[in-house]
Amino acid sequence: MSTTNSVTELCELVVRLKAAPDQDGELDCLVELRLASGDIELEDETCEISISKLTIALDLEGVSEVLGSRYGEPRKMPVEMERTVIQTNTSGKRFKASGAAKIDVTGPALGAYISGDAEIGVRKEATLRSHDTFLHQHVTAAPNLRWEVREHDDGVLRGTYLDGQRLLRVTRAERANRSALIARATVKQKDVSIDQVVHIALALKFLRRPDVTRRRLMDIFIKKTLDAAIRGGGKFAGQIVLSKAEIDLADED
């Protein structure tokens, strides 16, 4: 097993495979995940870096997942709906009228008659209201063997989010040339916050263009994680890899 933590101050990912206690031939993928924020040296700058969302991704080679074994995948339950029907009666009249008027020298004499049809209409309006209560899970399953880690208010990720829970259960494929499991903890650039930490008040006069400075620091941060990914045989693919763990099942025998 090999593990690479690109930025040890922010992320610790530990992955182990262990024989399932209740099923022969199956393996449990046990994961520990700890996240933090803090001051990190990026070249000549000291920065405070924090993360608001992280993804754990698994790649399987020569093994298959056991159906229904994913962690953080509660089935969506039916939602209680309240229906309110509002009924309003409206009425309108349509008239057909004809009349005749007769005028003489002594004054007008009016004779007229009116006939008409009345129409009455009914309008119904339906209003639906739903009531849904749920518990926020910090680690939830997503499609394609991914898990999202986030706070309920999308705040900064700090603390232990997994401490040895089974993320997935797998079985070996028959006649596979190689059996391996690769886990990555990745973040998107928009979910990383970088702020400079200024220890000397006089240094503030040099921070005239903070947006430009943040972009430069982000580039340094990406390069720092990219270098670690290259050393581990990977490449930059639009996401920042904070940690990577690879397990060759041949080494686990």
The last residue of a domain, from among 130, 163, 194: 130
> 12 and 123 share a domain?
no
Return the structure tokens found at 131: 């009531």
Residues of the domain holding 112:
80-130
Q: What is the total count of domains within the chain?
A: 2
Output the pLDDT for position 159: 96
Cα–Cα distance, 222 to 7 (Å, whole number): 11
Do both 150 and 70 map to the same domain?
yes
Which pTM value belongs to this model? Answer: 0.69
Residues 29 and 145 in one domain: yes
Is residue 190 located within the same domain as residue 70?
yes
Q: Which residues pair with 115 in a beta bridge?
A: 96
Residue 134 CB contacts under 8 Å (≥ 6 apart), including other chains: none
Comparing CA positions, the residue from 156, 169, 166, 180 lying closest to residue 35 is 156
H or E stretch including 194?
strand 192-196
Domain identity same for 141 and 228: yes
CB-based burial label for 162 (10 Å; 0-12, 13-18, 19+): buried
pLDDT along the chain (253 residues), means of 10: 83 94 93 91 75 95 94 80 65 46 43 46 62 80 96 94 96 86 91 68 46 65 54 55 89 61
- Of the three residues 104, 130, 156, the one that is the final residue of a domain is 130
pLDDT for res 232? 45
Helix, strand, or coil here: 219?
A: helix
121/145 same-domain check = no
- Is 234 found in the same domain as 197? yes
Same domain (yes/no): 30, 43: yes
State the DSSP string of 30-49. EEEEEE--EEEEETTEEEEE
Q: Do 241 and 139 reside in the same domain of the chain?
A: yes
